[in-house]
Amino acid sequence: MKPHYRDLFDLTDKVALVTGGLGILGREFCRALAEFGANVVVCDLDGEGAARYAEELSDTTGSRCEGYACDVADEASVIELVDRVVSDFGGIDILHNNAASKSDDLAAFFAPSEDYALAEWQHIMRVNLDGVFLVSRTVGRQMIAQGRGGSIIHTGSIYGHLGADSRIYEGSEYLGVQINTPPVYAASKAGVAGLARYLATQWAVHGIRVNTLVPGGVESGQNAEFVKRYSERIPLRRMARHEDMVGPLIYLASDASRYVTGQELFIDGGLSAW
């Protein structure tokens, strides 16, 4: 009897670890993985918040979900997290590197390139790129030891591949602050995609696939002027919604993409096709 193709997307009994699990997209990613059957570890700096959200997911999806605290930029914290997940769940099958820094100083974060402070650059890089390396290295080592392969997914960005169009930021604000795409964000996300390609070729022999989700702009509290200007740049004429990212994530996490590795999956409404 031939298998049903829909079963390729089934994640029942898989263990999925999601960093940045309480973020703008992280909550949706965790919920989607749990709805498709995975046991989900919600990882975030806010351990108490992660535990509360994991309990909610367990109640609504029927999957086993736990929330743990972790600073992905701290090596000891990452090792402790992975050890705890393996002890509690028996292994890790899916890793989603979704954590990214939210600067405490928005003025420093959105400073122009010619005035960008090295301290701010290093602070963002520690999470956005160093953290992705630390978690990937530690989980990858565990996946190799398990001997059953796995899927590692990074959250990248369209601005890791395209230059920012400053015209869309005229009159645009986020949380009351004039915004742009900071140089450190673009550089860190380009690094994430490069790291994914490298690890994909190194770990393919172990059956571990490594890919990158590449979102375009997602509606997340920007003012109306920004939404208008950004949408006018997009062939589909709108910004992305949170749920637009879910299907691509499930595809990369599941056996539906079992022959896909080292790739960047663009979810940008066609922006990169202009």
Domain ranges of the chain: 12-266
Question: Which of the two residues, 3 and 18, has the higher pLDDT score?
Answer: 18
Strands 208-215 vs 264-267: parallel, antiparallel or unpaired = parallel
pLDDT at 81 over 90: yes
Distance CA 84, CA 92 (A): 11
Tally helices (H) and strands (E) across the chain.
Answer: 9, 9
Indicate the average pLDDT of the chain: 96
CATH label, 12-266, candidates 3.40.50.740, 3.90.1150.10, 3.40.50.720, 3.40.50.1950: 3.40.50.720
Gyration radius of the chain over CA positions: 18
**pLDDT (tens digit per residue) in 119-136:** 999 999 999 999 999 999
List the structure tokens of 90: 């028996």
List the structure tokens of 105: 């100083």
Can you give the pLDDT at residue 104? 84
Q: How confident is the model at residue 268 (pLDDT cuts 50, 70, 90)?
A: very high
Confirm if 158 and 222 have CB atoms less than 8 A apart: no
Can you give the pLDDT at residue 172? 83
Q: What does the angle CA 251 – CA 159 – CA 264 come to, to the nearest 5 degrees?
A: 25
Q: What does the angle CA 21 – CA 23 – CA 24 come to, to the nearest 5 degrees?
A: 130
pLDDT at 220 over 90: no
Q: How confident is the model at residue 243 (pLDDT cuts 50, 70, 90)?
A: very high
Mean pLDDT of 152-177: 90
Mean pLDDT of 68-88: 98
3 state SS of 138: helix
Question: Which of the two residues, 84 and 274, has the higher pLDDT score?
Answer: 84
Mean pLDDT of 192-198: 98
Can you give the pLDDT at residue 221? 81
pTM attached to this predicted model: 0.96
Q: What does the angle CA 42 – CA 214 – CA 119 come to, to the nearest 5 degrees?
A: 75
**Cβ partners under 8 Å of residue 96, min gap 6:** 16, 17, 18, 19, 29, 33, 152, 153, 155, 249, 253
**pLDDT (tens digit per residue) in 24-51:** 899 999 999 999 999 999 999 999 999 9
Give the residue numbers annotated as catalytic, written as ranges: 185
Q: What does the angle CA 152 – CA 154 – CA 159 come to, to the nearest 5 degrees?
A: 160
Confirm if 67 and 52 have CB atoms less than 8 A apart: yes
**Cβ partners under 8 Å of residue 193, min gap 6:** 154, 156, 160, 161, 212, 214, 264
Can you give the pLDDT at residue 2? 76
Strands 173-174 vs 177-178: parallel, antiparallel or unpaired = antiparallel
Q: How confident is the model at residue 147 (pLDDT cuts 50, 70, 90)?
A: very high
